[in-house]
Structure formats: structure tokens, C-alpha cells
Amino acid sequence: MKHIGIITKKGEPKAIGLVGRLLPWFAERGYETCPDNDTARHLGVAGRPASELPDISDIIIVFGGDGTLLSAARLVGGRGIPILGVNLGGLGFMAEVPVDEVPEAIENALRGSCTIEERVMLQASVFRDGKRIDQHSVLNDVVINKGALARIVAIDTAVDGRYLTTFHSDGLIVSTPTGSTAYSLSAGGPILYPTLNSLILTPICPHLLANRPIVLPDDFTISMTIASGEDVFLTMDGQVGFPLHPGDVVEVVKSPHVTRLLIPCERDYFQVLRSKLKWGER
């Protein structure tokens, strides 16, 4: 791993400063680095558009939070390039390397000493009048939700061609195991170990309390039709949005691509849960 792409959280001085201090460190060890254009502009060095970094890198290092890492995962797509996340944000379930452990963690990653976990991604397609009009791959979740002042939305939901139910709710979440600690968790969904081959279907504030989250195999196709509702949106990874109309169909399947995350050598997922979710604290 000699060619390193660097992506930072846009407008984050802490990330820019840390990368500025690390660039000489990389150079001393013979690594070639290329930051994204925004980072490079702040540091006065040469850079490339973030979208081009996966084409020239052996590894992508992300300095930011989980949101920045999610963006990087979509950029990498099916290229199979491993991503290492340095946590400068809040919870940091995916961007796991703390600032004070950065040099050691990066050195271990570049030596090949770290585990690489392959995480399931989703592919979401929107069909209108039988024609596909939009498609995205995501790492965390696909969410149908209503606007702030809209009434509840009715979503006819089928699993592998079999009718499941019509959810009358504020929305519906289809989540990967990686995304189980994100919006789905806030909506009452379960936490799944991130390498499981499963999906979670979680209703948001359902009208019927008997509507509960359900865990499904990741080779199932989930089809959601907007039966009624106004001001309805599809949101991917909380970052990409698309307006939906009554009659639109959102189809979610497992993506043919996976995200490959470099895991810090000493990382224990259960310790991460205890730390991030404050389990055991009084």
C-alpha cells in the first residue's frame, strides 16, 4: 500500500491540521499521498477531486466522522479499496481510530497488520410508471420518510414478491448491519453484528404498535410502494435525497459491491458498543 488517498470532512480545521502534520510523516516513509481538492487547497499542496482518488489509491484514509466515511464508501463503490476511518466526529462506529492513536493505527494498516471487514451494501432503485428513474448504492440505510408537516404515509411492502403489510407510519428504514447503530437504532431497531448477512426493516413511528422491526436475509428483495402520502422523500445514508410520488416503487436489494473497512488491531466491537452507547454507566 504505497498510494494513499486522503479525504477529510469538509471545512473541519481539526482534520486539515492533522493531515498537514501527517503529510511529512508519510513522505519520510516513502508513501505517496494525494488529498482531495478541498483539503489540498487548505494545505497548499496538489490534490485531486475526491471522486478520482479511488482510481489512484491503494487505500483511502478518511479524517472526519461516520458521515464522511459513508461518502467515501459510495465513492469507492465496487473498486474494493480498503478504507481506514479516523474519528474526528461524534459516535464514530465506523471511523474508529481516535486522534491520539493515528500514527500507530495507520502504520499497522499500511503494513497489512489490520483486519479488513467486508460490509454489506444496499442498492436502491426508484421506479415510476414502470421505469427506473434513480439508483444508488449505500452502506448504512435506505429511508422513506415524510416531510415535517405531512401526514403519515402508507407504504405497501413486499418481501421477495410476497406481500408483508402496509405500513402506516412516518416512514420506513431498510438498514444493513453496519447501519443498525444509526437511524434504525433510534427508531427502535436491533443492533446487528456488522458482518452478518442480514437486513433490518424498521418502521418509523408506526400507527399500529404491533408493527415491529424485522430482520431478514440479505438475499431478499424488499419492494416498497407509496400507496398514499404527500411530501415523501427517499434518503440514502442520510446524505442523498430524492422526492417520491404516490405510486412510486422503491426496490432494495443487496449491492454486488461491499465496503472494505480496515479495523484497528486492538478493536473489540463489544467494547465499542459499551463506549459509544454508554452501556453499564450509571
- List the catalytic residue out of 36, 55, 66, 141: 66
- The average pLDDT across 252-261 equals 95
Summarised one tens digit per residue, pLDDT across range 71-108 is: 999 999 888 899 999 988 666 677 678 777 788 888 88
The topology (CATH level 3) of 3-114+264-277 is: Rossmann fold (3.40.50)
Q: How confident is the model at residue 65 (pLDDT cuts 50, 70, 90)?
A: confident
- The average pLDDT across 141-155 equals 90
pLDDT tops 80 at residue 1: no
- The mean of the pLDDT values for the chain is 91
- The average pLDDT across 45-57 equals 94
Q: What's the pLDDT score for residue 4?
A: 93
pLDDT tops 70 at residue 152: yes
- The average pLDDT across 221-240 equals 93
Q: What's the pLDDT score for residue 174?
A: 98
Break the chain into its structural domains and give their ranges. Answer: 3-114+264-277, 121-257
Summarised one tens digit per residue, pLDDT across range 177-226 is: 999 999 999 999 999 999 999 999 999 999 988 899 999 999 999 999 99
Percent of the chain residues topping a pLDDT of 70:
98
Q: What's the pLDDT score for residue 103?
A: 84
Q: What's the pLDDT score for residue 12?
A: 87
Q: What's the pLDDT score for residue 91?
A: 65
CATH 2.60.200.30, domain 121-257, yes or no: yes
Answer yes or no: 218 catalytic: no
pLDDT tops 90 at residue 244: yes
CA distance 249 to 129: 9
Summarised one tens digit per residue, pLDDT across range 158-183 is: 999 999 999 999 999 999 999 999 99
